[in-house]
Structure 1
Amino acid sequence: MHLIIGLAGGIGSGKTAASQWFEQQGITVVDADIVAREVVQPDSLALQRICHAFGEWVLLDDGQLNRKALREYIFNHPEARQQLEEITHPIIRQEILRQLQMAQSPYVILVSPLLFETKQHHLVQRTLLIDVPESLQLQRATQRDVQSTEQIAKIIATQMPRAKKQQLADDIVINDGHLEHLYQQLQPLHTYYLSLAKVNRT
């Protein structure tokens, strides 16, 4: 069984930059956000169940999921979030497990912004949190996503508090500088994970 490292971080934290760096080192990365998009492709079981639960309005004209409309609906109807998660989370979890098992690298990274919130940290042996002050989160995410500060703040508010994630994480990287500073912190962790992977295989 592969050593699995869970990589978490809130919006604007830089977890994508971190996961891309691990990929450049030859490490397989399974991204929960990508899996979540894959499992709701047209005619998929998950999308059929979402339509049944919420109605045909969740579909675009081409049969794709209307993510923007569904996201806005969930923000305005908090009880709908649980309903959506009950449909999608088991299917996403099953596909994540399948991709993790297929990995060929010494260890594998599971990237998930909601690693702790969705209990996906139970799928991994160790967790790495890419951490950043909330003010910097707001600044980066607003610039990147062209959303208002209020919208980004709402998204942050739905995620687990920073202090709680810090308590749960095994390893923490503070990404408050340039990319090179981030990479310098990741290098010794990569070396450490390679050594753990060797132990894990024996």
Structure 2
Amino acid sequence: MGALHVEEIPRYTYEDYKLWDGKWELIDGYPYAMSPAPMIKHQKISNNIGWELKSIFQDCKKCQVLLPVDWKIAEDTIVQPDNSVICHEPKNEAYITQAPKIIFEVLSKATAKKDRGIKYDLYEKEGVNYYIIVDPQEENAKVYQLQNGVYVKMCDVSDGVVVFKIDECNKELPFDFSKIWK
């Protein structure tokens, strides 16, 4: 038996995705299993990111902080960022369809390559203003900002403050990275 050729690998859509058990993402029709479940440290950091985002966005009524939710980019592309901020009212309760303003992905052994590669490219292409890749082992985050359609690395940060600027909020939003590791 020989190797599978790309044209032999089945491609899927949102209709298929809805029927699957477990956690999955679908990118350009190709399924990615989201298992095993995230480690405790991963969940703790993601939860802390959510709390810090909620704190800095509490006065910005146009934006809301989300934990993993389906983002349906196309019929064959559905992802679930670990943490995101949207500044629009979703048209559907099952998923969002517009790009979030901010996305955090917390790396795990199972997702690190995808988060640094495919998702980086996808989020850049879709116009996510800020993409933050969080490494729980190194307790470090890489912060990227979209400038003229391309991600530019703002900084590597462990315990500093990064200021996000979101047009819908009309103010600077200081995110304290020292709070996410505790």
TM-score by length of 1: 0.29
Larger radius of gyration: 1
Which structure features the higher share of helix residues?
A: 1
Larger RCO (alpha carbons 8 Å, 6+ apart): 1
